[in-house]
Amino acid sequence: MTLSLGPLLPVLILDDVESARSLAEALRDGGISQAEVTLRTPAALDALRVMASVGDLTVGAGTVLTCEQADASVEAGASFLVSPGWDPALAAYAGELGVPLIPGVATPSEALAARAAGCSQLKVFPISTLGGVAFIDALAAVFPDVTFVPSGGIRPEHAREYLSCPSVETICGSWMAPRALVAAGDFAAVTAASRAAVEAIA
């Protein structure tokens, strides 16, 4: 099951649901068309539900570790799921739900297993530790029919370099909506950072 995403996928950590609508609108107004709400806080599912109701923004759930979290995320309105690692049971369950899963891989063996299970988009995490663009190029050489979503430690100045890889259509990052800005309620800064990120890769 293939998901069509734009080049920038903000990875979000929300500490309260009250920020969710304003954050979604700020990202959208900055030219961002999708977002990943990580299930790392008690407010995450409620925040996801609110963000998913905002027009012109595709919202998925990140840090999905279990089938129960997959269920709850889809119920809250997630259009896609992202996991930090490879779990065949989770992949099979996402298939039953009919929701795209972008599983995390960190080795060629995991990429091979995920590909064999029908996953055509693979999150490579944590990419800055694994070797950056050189690691993506190495994987792409042996898995030419897979697209990779690098995540983990990508700095804004490296965004264009990752997106120049033929096997990369989307990259993950937190610099468009840092947790501190969201917590401070500075959504104008989120819009500005998002717009700058979009312009930097144009």
Model pLDDT for residues 122-145, shown as the tens digit of each residue: 999 999 999 999 999 999 999 999
**pLDDT for res 3:** 82
pLDDT tens figures, 74-124: 999 999 999 999 999 999 999 999 999 999 999 999 999 999 999 999 999
CATH of the domain at 166: 3.20.20.70
Q: Which residue, among 89, 124, 92, has the nearest Cα to 105 in the 3D structure?
A: 124
Please list the active-site residues: 36, 123
Q: pLDDT digits over 155-189, tens only?
A: 999 999 999 999 999 999 999 999 999 999 999 99
pTM of the model: 0.96
Within a domain: residue 2? no
Exposed/middle/buried for 117, CB within 10 Å: 0-12, 13-18, 19+? middle
Question: What is the three-class DSSP state of 99?
Answer: coil
Task: Give me the phi and psi of 173, to 5 degrees please.
Answer: -165, 160
Domain that holds residue 136: 8-200
The total of structural domains in the chain comes to 1
